[in-house]
Amino acid sequence: MTVKCSLADLSVGGRGIIVEIRAEGNTRRRLLDLGFVPDTIVEAVRRSPMGDPTAYQVRGAVIALREEDAVAVLVRPA
């Protein structure tokens, strides 16, 4: 059994491998276009002082996501 958590649950410096995208519609398409695709390694790089959004490094780019979008991306520990 694979342990899964959402991208929002990763602490700064934490890495995970994307397992599933649970978003729908335009949000799903946007996440996929930004590189959040299954079997991709993603790392939480920095969190804003207020806690939201969080910057993630994925496929060589740093992308900031709000928590409401990050919870739709499921990862397993890398």
For residue 1, is pLDDT > 60?
Answer: no
- Other CB atoms within 10 A of residue 58 CB: 21
pLDDT tens for 12-47 read 999 999 999 999 999 999 999 999 999 999 999 999
pLDDT tens for 44-68 read 999 999 888 999 999 999 999 999 9
Q: Which amino acid is at 25?
A: G
CATH number of domain containing 60: 2.30.30.90
Q: How many domains does the chain have?
A: 1
Name the residue range of residue 49's domain. 5-77
Q: What is the pLDDT of residue 51?
A: 81
**Using an 8 Å Cβ cutoff, are 69 and 27 in contact?**
yes
Q: What secondary structure does DSSP assign to 2-54, as a single string?
A: ---EEGGGPPTT-EEEEEEE---HHHHHHHHHTT--TT-EEEEEEE-TTS-SE
This prediction has a pTM of 0.89
